[in-house]
Structure 1
Amino acid sequence: MSTYLSHLTVLEHSASSYPDTPVFRVPRSDISTGQVHDWSSITYSQFKDDVEFTARYWRQILESDGVPEHSVIGLWLPGMTYQDVLHIYGLSRAGYVPQLFSIRLPNPDVVLELLKKAGSKALILDSQFQSSTASFPLPVHLAVKKQDMASFQYDLPPIRSTSNPDKAVFIFHTSGSTSGSPKLVPCNSRWLDAIVAKAKVTSTPISPCKQDVSVWMGSMCHIAQTFMLIGALQHGSCVIQPTKIGFSSEELVDMIHRCQLNRLNQFSTFLSIHLRNSRQNRKLLGYLQSLDQILISGLSLPQEDEDWAYKNGLNMKNLFGSTECGAMLLSMGGKGRDAPLLRPIPGTYYGFLPIDADTQIESGHKTSAQMLELVILSTSGDCPDASLRGNDGHFHTGDLFQEIMPGSYAFRGRNDDWIKSENSLRCDTKAIEDNIRATCGDLIQECIVVGTGRPSPALFVEPAPGVDHGKLKRDIIRKTRQFHSRRYLHEQITNPNLIVVVPSGSLPRTATKGNIRRKAVEEAYQAELDKIYASLQ
């Protein structure tokens, strides 16, 4: 009978193998300036003890609410601190199933709907959401720091690998909204076991003679950092908590100096900032060149940045993943021309299936090369829940690739109207466009939503004849306010500065059907978009 590993069995083994080794470095900052004056260490044994202390606390609190073991419990947290990790791992250790909400989903009505869909029995949340959840019809508790938790004596059951592949372990949510709400992404022990195996491969140390030190990649309420932490734990590595996700180049250098950072895991948008800075700062470039690995994920790096990074000897690898499956493809790395090409992580079972010619043209891919959709086969351990699969039983990602060399692929965009934002979360542009046409059809002739790699989307509008441009922007914001209020922050257009009014018929279109070309609009108006987003910072 098969047994399935989990984040808890990984922690148990690592705390035994590396008890006095630091697992986290946490910043201690000056209250007045915000400057980090040192980075404190938390060892593996302390982490395990803190998880169990947190588990006992919440087990007692939830039992007093009448919440039974194995219940789903909502967690609405930033996911960026050690304390957030303790809540996630502590709830799992206490025998519950965490349902993880991003703080980028600020609408309490949508959160309550998702809690009900998942059958959650309670919600633990950050203080910023306390007032908006006062009327929730289930127990609601504030997340608390460990030093503020009461000590409860409760005998936790021993951690064991489960033999039940269908046992629920987590509930994530898709990073973009469909029909006004994210979808549930239920995760079972079979899926988590596959995540553990893939994370181990992805996080294998480059230099076995020293401890790997990486940095937080994103919120623990999203899959990327959850995946990377599971990988780090298996190798006795250390993870630094930065002051923010888009940390400065100065903070990067400080982490290299004082925390011995040797492995930078970062979304491409944020890495590009360091690459641009290093063009004017040879010292920073030297630090980037000294890293054992720079692991990028999310959006593809701009070609100019990628070429410059390889030319200057940066040890880069590209990781391709999704909420539903975690990491799926990993580049070869190295110095050759094939360094950026992606391959499936060993132990997975994927298909690269041709899309038909009509779909290829409609998607804007004007090339004679065959486009292939990445499909996660049902036999692959990381194939997500049946509710997310297609009619054929497999999970169709919608992500398109070209096979450049046998078994090696280059990403070529998506087979739909979704784009990825600055922090690699997804946004359904067609849903926004359809809403604008439905609510503002008398005011506009045509519209297109852009914003790949940006903090939020922007709208280009060709107005109806005689419409006042300034009033048009205000009317669009007013008429679409309710629609956007239900969406993630990275999907919202709530600022009139993010609406660009252009002359009728001026937006670039396809020659055959006359559809507006999203990528061409982004390229043609890049300078104007740069100014708009810079003004909003």
Structure 2
Amino acid sequence: MPHFLQNVLDALHKYSARPLIKVCFKGGEGQPIWRVVNYGEFRSDIERVAIYWLEHLGLFDVQPLDVVGIWITGEQYYDIVSIYGLSRAGFTPEILGRDLAMSEQAAVIFDILATTGAKTIIFDPSFKKEIDKLPLACFEMPELPDIPSSPEILPPLSDADEGEVALVFHPRNGRPKPILKTHRWLISQAKIEWPQLYQGGNKPAIVNSIDSFTNVKSAIAISYLACNGHCMIQPSQHDFDEEEFKALVGEGMNVVFLHASMLSKLISIGKANKQVYEAFKTLTQVIYTGASLNVEDEQWLIKNEMLATFVDTTEKSGSSVPCLTSLITETHVLPSMRPLKGLGCSLLPIGFLDNQSERHANRRQLFDLFVPADAANCPHPSACNRLDEHITGDVFEETEPGGSNDDWIRTGKHEAFCNARQIENNVLQEAADLVNNCIIVGHHEPGIVLLVEPAVPNPADENKLKSLILHRHAEFNDSLHVHEKIKSVLQIILVPQGTLPKTMEKGSSRREAAKAQHWEALQEVYTQFKTW
């Protein structure tokens, strides 16, 4: 198959005069201003950088296909040029971010590069003190204007095996495990996934970068935006406020792509601020990801006819695999999503692959999102959790034939996201003989509470039953974040059989109904939270 960058280069030539990146700078008064980089300029810049590094790294026997570390801040235009320039030179860039500026960082960097077999590292001058400690060849990045034009002509890009690694990223925290992106995956993102995620018709999208250029979502965005003739606009900060939101829209942004928590913040402002509301109304599409919104925000989008879509991009194993999206023509059923066409991903009953479906036969049917080995966006085998296949780890239920609702809530002191369905499913699986049905509630509350219909009516010893349920759930419970944990039997409330809201209702509405049913008992539990 072609090198993933070949499709990008073809597009850079085809759309030469179109804007590709609107790069953000701080103006004289600290206000953001934007400079337009068109497709032709970007192609010229990455080819100039490619020639420079081919010459310099070749002197140290660094060959095409070798992994080359690149340690950058991720905030500058030159950073994204360097990533694609190294790729154009035929190397395999391994992108390292500012967040690795930690104690003993040289040792961390060296361990990371050793894991992937990187031959060398190029680095932003701001990291020079740390880089000097590394026992391998290191090269400081010159400023882009200091890289001379060259009469040399780059060799054509070689074809790649579909499973060959094209780019290497790392998650942010700890000593990160490499995230390997293959040519097949990147081409899938450009040719299959983005054309379905963007639902604005033939109008070119101008969409914000969702994070720094060291983040996989922002770094690869150029490849799929370019292939489709679209444009990225860079915010001055990734948690931008309402003033910058309005400025971005004024600069031409017609698609906003945000994590749900960020969108919720802007929605709360838009409810009271007419200018922010009007800015929303000009957008061709609002795309959000990471978790579903709370019911009130969903209803605000629906009531005000915002062209919003919810995208599932799982972060399990760093795979960041977009597999499902809602439809802009069906905003009234947010956050219900459908599998993207042409990928081969499917929703399978939980336990189906392990011949455990019968265990769930008499309970509400939940689904795993299954990514087969031959799916165009199947993660690299290093990130797969079933030999070469992958189950994302998210849990879904069918909301209508072909549609699914990824049901998360926000809970705890900091209102962090919690995968309520995953917890419910574990309880139903591990305590199948004890629990007939259960629901997690706790959206915008101090913590979660598990409402349980016992398998046996009127249990003789309720505390013993709660303890057994908690014991069965213990192993999974230990793997969760603190705000997702059931720490005590006080967080388990037993309710009569058949009284919990039925599963055909929309997930978020079902939780709200259960919360209303057991309001007084829940308030007693939440009072206890204050003493823990």
Q: TM (normalized to structure 2)? A: 0.71
Query: What one-letter code is carried by the residue in structure 2 that aligns with 1:291?
Result: L
Distance 1:95 1:508 in 2: 59
Match of residue 278 from structure 1: 270
8 A contact 1:325–1:383 mirrored in 2: no
Distance 1:99 1:92 in 2: 10
Query: What one-letter code is carried by the residue in structure 2 that aligns with 1:196?
Result: A
Distance 1:19 1:63 in 2: 30
Q: Offset at 1:163?
A: 5.2
> Percent same amino acid at aligned positions?
24
Is 1:186 equivalent to 2:180 in the alignment? yes
Is 1:11 equivalent to 2:8 in the alignment? yes
Q: Offset at 1:207?
A: 4.6
Match of 1:220 among 205, 213, 218: 213
Query: What one-letter code is carried by the residue in structure 1 that aligns with 2:119?
Result: K
Distance 1:105 1:226 in 2: 17
Q: Offset at 1:245?
A: 0.6
| CA 1:308–1:368: 2 relative to 1, 3 Å | farther
Distance 2:526 2:62 in 1: 56
Matches within 5 A, 1:50-449: 50-107=45-102, 108=105, 109-159=107-157, 162=159, 164-173=161-170, 175=171, 181-202=175-196, 204=198, 206-208=200-202, 210-257=203-250, 259-322=251-314, 323-355=318-350, 368-412=363-407
8 A contact 1:195–1:326 mirrored in 2: no
8 A contact 1:50–1:86 mirrored in 2: yes
Distance 1:508 1:423 in 2: 21
Distance 2:489 2:41 in 1: 58
Q: Offset at 1:90?
A: 0.4
Match of residue 470 from structure 1: none
Structure 2 counterpart SS, 1:387? coil
Distance 1:290 1:333 in 2: 15
Q: TM (normalized to structure 1)? A: 0.71
Which deviates more, 237-246 or 143-152?
A: 143-152
Distance 1:176 1:42 in 2: 28
8 A contact 1:325–1:382 mirrored in 2: no
Q: Deviations over 1:228-273 (max 9, x none)?
A: 332321222221111111112111211222x221111122222222
Distance 1:385 1:510 in 2: 40
Structure 1 counterpart SS, 2:398? strand
Structure 2 counterpart SS, 1:388? coil
Q: Offset at 1:304?
A: 2.2
Distance 1:69 1:402 in 2: 46
8 A contact 2:78–2:144 mirrored in 1: yes
Select the structure of larger CA radius of gyration. Answer: 2
Is 1:20 equivalent to 2:17 in the alignment? yes
8 A contact 1:224–1:326 mirrored in 2: no
Query: What one-letter code is carried by the residue in structure 1 that aligns with 2:154?
Result: L
Distance 2:96 2:330 in 1: 40
| CA 1:511–1:281: 2 relative to 1, 3 Å | closer
Distance 1:312 1:94 in 2: 49
8 A contact 2:321–2:379 mirrored in 1: no
| CA 1:348–1:279: 2 relative to 1, 3 Å | same
8 A contact 1:51–1:90 mirrored in 2: yes
Match of residue 423 from structure 2: none
Structure 1 counterpart SS, 2:99? coil
Query: What one-letter code is carried by the residue in structure 1 that aligns with 2:232?
Result: V
Distance 1:39 1:422 in 2: 34
Distance 1:395 1:176 in 2: 22
Q: Offset at 1:194?
A: 1.9
- Bigger relative contact order, structure 1 or 2, given CA contacts below 8 A and separation 6+? 1
Distance 2:167 2:137 in 1: 19
Match of 1:509 among 491, 508, 522: 491
Query: What one-letter code is carried by the residue in structure 2 that aligns with 1:164?
Result: D
Structure 1 counterpart SS, 2:70? strand
8 A contact 1:401–1:413 mirrored in 2: no
Query: What one-letter code is carried by the residue in structure 2 that aligns with 1:238?
Result: C
Query: What one-letter code is carried by the residue in structure 1 that aligns with 2:40?
Result: S
Structure 2 counterpart SS, 1:130? helix
**Runs of at least 5 residues in structure 1 that lack an aligned partner in the other structure:** 360-364, 427-451, 459-492, 494-498, 513-519, 529-537
8 A contact 1:80–1:218 mirrored in 2: no
| CA 1:22–1:413: 2 relative to 1, 3 Å | same
Aligned pairs, number: 427
Structure 2 counterpart SS, 1:334? helix
Distance 1:5 1:338 in 2: 39
Distance 2:490 2:285 in 1: 40
Match of residue 34 from structure 1: 30
Distance 2:61 2:287 in 1: 44
